[in-house]
Amino acid sequence: MDPFVIGLLALCSLLLLIGLRVPIGVSLITVSFLGIWAIVGLRPAMSLVSTIPYSSTASWTLSSIPMFLLMGYLAFHSGLTRGLFEAARVWWGWMPGGLAVASLAGAGGFAAVSGSSVACSAAIGRIAIPEMHRQNYDLRIATGSVAAGGTIGALIPPSIILILFGIQSNSSINELFVGGLMLGLASLAFYVAAVMVYWLRNPERLPRITDTPKGDRWRKTLEIWPVLLLIVSVLGGLFGGLFTATEAGAFGAFMTIVIGVLRRSLSWVRFKESLIDTLLAAGALFIIAFGANLFTKLVAISGLSREVSQFVEGLGLGTNGLLVMIVLIYLALGMFLEPIGALMLTLPLFLPLIGVHGIDKIWFGVLVAKLLEIGMITPPVGLNVFVIHSVARDYVKLEQIFAGILPFLFADLLLVALMLATRTFF
């Protein structure tokens, strides 16, 4: 059988397995191994399977992932992130829609520690949604703001998606983090603007709360000084050139342990829970990385990437048309696939295309991270929405949360359109 046909069948089989909810790592490894076997034989396929696991994971850059995961889990289990929403509330609660704005700001702060969209939504949602319900907020915009705010976790460093993109595309992690930070702050600003627009149209649904005395504001801020210290030291060292991404993750994990011990909030039991969560999450990501590398080999051996590039070139789309097509593909995939799966599935096909068109890889990586996170709030999957529903099922129905997402989804699409028009991160 023609290698291209085998590659195409492998791609279709991969989509089918992912659609059937087979784990993305298992799907990538199984389909890639069988496809390579069919093209070059069993012995070369076995050789690749025996060597790629080491070459995929024995990476200095990849080792940053467990370090950042450990930092996030330690901060969560030791309660360092617990006061983020409260601190944001006393500073911005007086604004129109202030509690929703505080939820977004708290999500941004949590994202800078955890780098996880789902964890961000769950942690902030448990605190913010009951408070907004008590203040008679429209629960659609209340839950929508928390779900959308969680997506900032994929942009603001440490972003697992940006690390994986950097490894797969051989791009600078530090430069991706700078772009992710800029776009994350821009996303936060657009979300706040969406809240303001909603308040102008429905002021009674987002009531103001009593202003907080300045003394209380500083007191609440001082209560979260460990988190602020952690964020400033890790990001400052990273962007100041003192750390590589891996060293920043290790330093952040060490700092979190020290802070947790000094505050007596990190017990041995919580430390073990953090280690177990880190090992499970990192192990799953490493399996995916192995599968992605194997799939990249299949795409190269089968000529699939070459054929796709020639097909796209034959369409005569040009650079702008290509980018619009990629955006639409990611938005469609985001409705059904989780972000890392969609990333690993598409990069072997898209990276050669952007290379031919001279598109900056750093800018493209940040754009992809943004598009993948939009998928976290779009139906029918919208993982962040389901996380928020599990937290707030006593207050709101699932369809109401999806309705509350719409203003933030429009803000995201506007931001993506501006990125395409300007080719900047903002």
d(CA 191, CA 74): 28
Q: Which residues contact 329 (CB under 8 A, 6 or more apart)?
A: 346
Q: What integer pLDDT is reported at residue 363 of this predicted model?
A: 96
Q: Which residues contact 341 (CB under 8 A, 6 or more apart)?
A: 18, 24, 288
Question: Is 169 within 8 Å of 292 (Cβ atoms)?
Answer: no
Residue 362 — pLDDT band, cuts 50, 70, 90?
A: very high
Question: Is 68 within 8 Å of 265 (Cβ atoms)?
Answer: no
The whole-angstrom distance between residue 203's C-alpha and the CA centroid of its chain comes to 32
Has residue 213 got a pLDDT over 70?
Answer: no
The whole-angstrom distance between residue 84's C-alpha and the CA centroid of its chain comes to 19
183 compared with 383, residue with greater pLDDT: 183
d(CA 105, CA 84): 8
d(CA 24, CA 74): 27
Average the pLDDT over 368-387 and give the result.
85
Q: What is the pLDDT of residues 344-353, one digit of tens each?
A: 888 888 988 8
Question: Is 293 within 8 Å of 29 (Cβ atoms)?
Answer: no
Residue 312 — pLDDT band, cuts 50, 70, 90?
A: confident
Has residue 211 got a pLDDT over 70?
Answer: no
Torsion of CA 185, 187, 330, 121, to 10 degrees: 90
Q: Which residues contact 422 (CB under 8 A, 6 or more apart)?
A: none
Q: What integer pLDDT is reported at residue 407 of this predicted model?
A: 93
Residue 409 — pLDDT band, cuts 50, 70, 90?
A: very high
Has residue 55 got a pLDDT over 80?
Answer: no
Q: What integer pLDDT is reported at residue 192 of this predicted model?
A: 92
d(CA 368, CA 385): 20
Q: Give the residue ranges of DSSP H helices in 78-172.
A: 84-92, 98-114, 117-134, 139-150, 160-169
d(CA 102, CA 43): 58
Average the pLDDT over 185-204 and give the result.
91
First to last CA, the chain: 48
Task: Kindly tell me the number of DSSP H helices and DSSP E strands found in the chain.
Answer: 20, 0
Residue 47 — pLDDT band, cuts 50, 70, 90?
A: confident
Has residue 115 got a pLDDT over 80?
Answer: no
pTM of this structure: 0.86
d(CA 204, CA 216): 27
| Cβ neighbours around 417 below 10 Å, total | 12
Q: Give the residue ranges of DSSP H helices in 318-397.
A: 318-334, 339-356, 361-374, 383-392
